[in-house]
Amino acid sequence: MSESATPKSDIKDPAKNVSTPKREPKDLSVAPKRDSKDLTLPTKRDSKDAIKSRHDIFIQEIESMDDFWGSTFRAVYDKGEQDQFARQLDERIREHDRTIERMCSSHYQGFIDSIRELLQVRTEASKLKNEVVGVHDELVTQSRQLLSQGDALARARRRQANTEQGVAALMACLPVLEMYSKLRRQMAEQRFYPALKTLEQLEVLYLPRVADHRFAQAICESIPKMRDNIRAAAMSDVKDFLEEVRCESPRVGEAAMRHAAEQFFVERPPPARLQKRHTLAFLGVTAISPIALYGEDGDGEASDEEGAAQDLVNFSAVYRCLHIFTALGARDAFEEYYRKQRQKQCSLALQAPSGGLAQDSLVAVQDYLHGVAGFFVIEDHVLNTATGLVTRVSLDQLWDEALSELTGALQTHAACCTDPNLLLTFKRLIMVFSHTLRNYGFNVKPLHGLLLEVRDHYSEVLMQRWVGVFREIFDQDNYHPIEVDSPQEYEQITRVFPYTDAELARQPFPKTFPFSLMVPKVFSQVKEFIHSCLRFAEDLDLSQGERDDLLRQSTNVLLTRTLSGCLATLIRIPGLGLLQLIQITINTIHLEQASVYLEDVITKITGYNPKQDGGVQSTLLGRVMFKDIRAETEQQIYRQLQAKIDEFLELAAYDWLLPEPSGTASPFLVDLISFLEATFGAFTNLPAHVAQTACMSACQHVARQLRQMLLGEEARQLSTGALQQLNLDVIQCEQFAASEPVAGFEEGALLMCFADLRQLLDLVLEWDWATYFAEYGTPTSRYGRVTPATAVKVVERLRDADKRNMFSVLKRAERDKKKLQDTVLKQLRQLVAQVGSS
């Protein structure tokens, strides 16, 4: 077939099969893509070349984009150049068509040659197909023969394989049956852990080999039941073990605490200054050493060698059960069960014994601590030997919870105790318990805090006892200076109380100390209290500085609260006399001076030197306390002295209308002066300022009371004779003041107490009103202490007394006197009015 005869249906126009080549976008630097906003509207001035260049740019943008030409067309329409752009676009299309036609013409001949070669291949393919059909028929015939022979061979080999499989199955079953027989034997012998291992081997290694046999299935079905039996038996062993350790915990704790006590005794031998049983001879306070709590001999020899405390318990059951439950895959359940049961047992062990801390219940407290200590000793052993059954975190948490409850129970017991002996023994028990648990790695710091609280309670108990001691001393004291008749008695006092006086030492016997027997007794009892506090702090883990600070704090509390309270109660006793108050004041002076020796006693006991150790040492507050008590005692002395003066003044019976004085001082005033002279003579050993203050206050009080009598309501009418009698009494008081009953006053200081009364009496008795009115208000006035109001009151009462005599108006002198009184009263009232207006 010629080329011209090729039908149009088989040979298509090559030009139509050629796709239009896609133009590559031109460089934007040559023809950058512009947005419609970048193109300005055409103007009439735009030239054709400019329009053509712009349209070329639009066409390039259309050619470079395949899908979105909206912005380009919008820019064309915005400029109103759509017709021109369409013509230019048609021109560009025609140019592309010409390019396509040229390409099709150049490839047309090659396409025709390819079609011709394809027609030749069709003929060759038909020949090849016929040959393949012939080969296929021959292969089918040969294959049928081969399949027939293969089926016969397969049947023979299947028979051989079945025989071999039967033999192999029998060989595989024999080990399974042997292992199962071994398992039954171990179960019967209660060897559960080996049985569990055999069961595991049977299940993992042997039964999978015979899994298709029915007997294997029966064995598999019995395996869970066997595991349950093993688990139940192991759980029974665990319960037996838990019951055993619950019963044995007190014995374990006792053994552990005994070993700790032995170690404590070796590490902390009692000081040479303290015996094993410390005894206060005065109070009968006895402390039992840690070894004595556990039956040690008095010479401190250790008890016979014993094994470890945990050896009292057989832990094999718990180890065996742990391995069994681990093999069963139930280790977590076993651990949870064990810990939960032990927590319950811990709660039971922490149930505090009933009753307070008495002698009988102290044994119960000891058993209580044995049970708690035994519980945690066992748990610590399980922690170290049974890996993972008890963790350090869980054990520490359980210990913290138990310690909180234990501390509360012990606090309750200790708070009810008022016996120092039991508190000391209780403290030793806690120390041995703390030492035991610390040896096993438990945190026992809260127990040290408990010991500090018990120490505070112990101090309170001691202070309550010392309240009775001090009160007994005060009740038995006669409040008279100590008088000794021999050197032995003198040495006995100075040995108990550090007092040195060279002048007293030179005096012959009998000698008299300035203080009463109360002073050496109080001083010795304060020292005894310090030693008692030391007995509690002796075995605590305290440094020398801490022990020194502890003793100083306790002593300060004793001095500032106990002794101070007893002294304050003593000086407020209503029946206490003035001489007794004076002796108490003297006693406090010597106790204050001896406070420094108490500090030396504490320093000697503790051996603490802050200068060498670089620490700070607190100071005893005894000096301050004794100063406060002495100040209060001095006030009591002043009040007692004034009260005694008031008793004498109550005996005064002035006749304010007395016509003539008696010529001597009143008897009550003479007795008062004698009493004051004797009293101030007893002030010899008091500080000078105390005696001076007492003397000054006594004189001021006497002057104030005499003036009050003169100006009081009882003396509504006064006679000159009564004033002259009062003047004699004031002269007697002035003579006493001038005699300096207490040394150390400036000259005339005591006389100033009676100056107000003296000026008033001189003014009225001498009738020196001219001088009074002339010098009134001047600094050098002779009667500067007499106020016009006081003068008015006295003059009025004199005038009222004169009115009682009805015949006085008949005498010229009396009439002149009355006029003079009226004139004086008028002038005095004018002065009173001036003072009030100013």
Question: pLDDT tens digits for 368-397?
Answer: 888 888 888 888 888 888 888 888 888 888
The residue among 672, 677, 680, 683 whose CA lies nearest residue 644 is: 672
| Residue 595 reports pLDDT greater than 70 | yes
The mean-pLDDT minimum among 76-85, 133-142, 539-548 falls in: 539-548
Indicate if 598 and 660 belong to the same structural domain: no
DSSP H or E segment with residue 511:
strand 511-512
Q: Is 483 helix (H, G, I), strand (E, B) or coil?
A: strand
What is the pLDDT at residue 741?
A: 85
pLDDT band, very low/low/confident/very high, at 6 (cuts 50, 70, 90): very low
Distance of CA 383 to CAs 253, 387, 388, 705, 718, Å? 17, 7, 7, 89, 106
| Residue 107 reports pLDDT greater than 60 | yes
Indicate if 470 and 341 belong to the same structural domain: no
- Asked whether residue 811 is assigned to any structural domain, the reply reads yes
Distance of CA 96 to CAs 13, 72, 89, 108, Å? 18, 20, 11, 19
> What φ, ψ does residue 529 adopt, rounded to 5°?
-65, -40
- Asked whether residue 35 is assigned to any structural domain, the reply reads no
CB 702 within 8 A of CB 758: no
- Taking the C-alpha atoms of residue 738 and residue 748, their distance in angstroms, rounded to an integer, is 7
- Asked whether residue 301 is assigned to any structural domain, the reply reads no
Q: Which among 442, 468, 495 is the end of a domain?
A: 442
- Asked whether residue 678 is assigned to any structural domain, the reply reads yes
| Residue 34 reports pLDDT greater than 60 | no
Report how far Cα 631 is from the mean position of its chain's Cα atoms.
Answer: 39
- Asked whether residue 23 is assigned to any structural domain, the reply reads no
Length of the chain: 838
Indicate if 621 and 474 belong to the same structural domain: yes
pLDDT digits over 464-500, tens only?
888 889 899 988 888 888 888 888 988 888 888 888 8
The residue among 732, 731, 722, 745 whose CA lies nearest residue 797 is: 722
Distance of CA 726 to CAs 43, 295, 549, 658, 717, Å? 142, 87, 64, 11, 14
The mean-pLDDT minimum among 84-88, 223-227, 275-279 falls in: 275-279
pLDDT band, very low/low/confident/very high, at 728 (cuts 50, 70, 90): very high
CATH of the domain at 684: 1.20.58.670
| Residue 809 reports pLDDT greater than 60 | no
User: CB under 8 Å to 372, separation ≥6 — which residues?
Assistant: 253, 349, 350, 402, 406, 433
Q: Maximum distance among all alpha carbons in the chain?
A: 201
Q: Which among 131, 147, 163 is the end of a domain?
A: 147
What is the pLDDT at residue 182?
A: 84
- Taking the C-alpha atoms of residue 94 and residue 50, their distance in angstroms, rounded to an integer, is 22
| Residue 44 reports pLDDT greater than 50 | no
- Asked whether residue 681 is assigned to any structural domain, the reply reads yes
| Residue 279 reports pLDDT greater than 50 | no
Name residue 645's amino acid: I
Indicate if 697 and 816 belong to the same structural domain: yes
Maximum mean pLDDT: which of 111-120, 241-250, 406-415: 241-250
What is the pLDDT at residue 38?
A: 43
Indicate if 662 and 697 belong to the same structural domain: yes
| Residue 31 reports pLDDT greater than 70 | no
Indicate if 538 and 668 belong to the same structural domain: no
Q: Is 393 helix (H, G, I), strand (E, B) or coil?
A: helix
CB 561 within 8 A of CB 583: no
What is the pLDDT at residue 633?
A: 83
Indicate if 274 and 404 belong to the same structural domain: yes
Indicate if 481 and 607 belong to the same structural domain: yes
Its pTM stands at: 0.60
Indicate if 576 and 611 belong to the same structural domain: yes
Which has more confidence, 671 or 630?
671
First CA to last CA distance, the chain: 162
| Residue 738 reports pLDDT greater than 70 | yes
CA dihedral of residues 284, 285, 289, 294 (deg, nearest 10)? 70
Name residue 74's amino acid: R
| Residue 33 reports pLDDT greater than 50 | no
The mean-pLDDT minimum among 54-68, 82-96, 382-396, 483-497 falls in: 54-68
| Residue 569 reports pLDDT greater than 70 | yes
- Asked whether residue 349 is assigned to any structural domain, the reply reads yes
Indicate if 655 and 707 belong to the same structural domain: yes
The mean-pLDDT minimum among 74-83, 444-453, 753-762 falls in: 74-83
Domain that holds residue 419: 242-286+310-442
CATH of the domain at 481: 1.10.357.30
pLDDT digits over 303-347, tens only?
444 557 777 888 888 888 888 888 877 888 888 888 888 888 888
Indicate if 437 and 489 belong to the same structural domain: no
Residue 512 forms beta bridges with which residues? 483
Which has more confidence, 288 or 828?
828
Segment 589-612 mean pLDDT: 78
The mean-pLDDT minimum among 150-164, 545-559, 650-664 falls in: 545-559
pLDDT digits over 406-426, tens only?
888 888 877 877 788 888 888
Burial class from Cβ neighbours inside 10 Å (0-12, 13-18, 19+) for residue 429 reads buried
Q: What total number of domains does the chain contain?
A: 4
Distance of CA 747 to CAs 52, 737, 836, Å? 138, 10, 36
pLDDT digits over 503-545, tens only?
888 888 888 888 889 889 988 998 888 888 888 877 777 777 7
User: For all residues of the chain together, what is the average pLDDT?
Assistant: 79
Indicate if 716 and 765 belong to the same structural domain: yes
| Residue 619 reports pLDDT greater than 80 | no
What is the pLDDT at residue 615?
A: 55
The mean-pLDDT minimum among 229-243, 302-316, 431-445 falls in: 302-316
What is the pLDDT at residue 2?
A: 37
Segment 606-632 mean pLDDT: 71
- Asked whether residue 538 is assigned to any structural domain, the reply reads yes
- Taking the C-alpha atoms of residue 154 and residue 529, their distance in angstroms, rounded to an integer, is 113
What is the pLDDT at residue 301?
A: 42
DSSP H helices in 440-499: 445-476, 487-496
Q: Which among 388, 409, 442 is the end of a domain?
A: 442
Which has more confidence, 362 or 569?
569
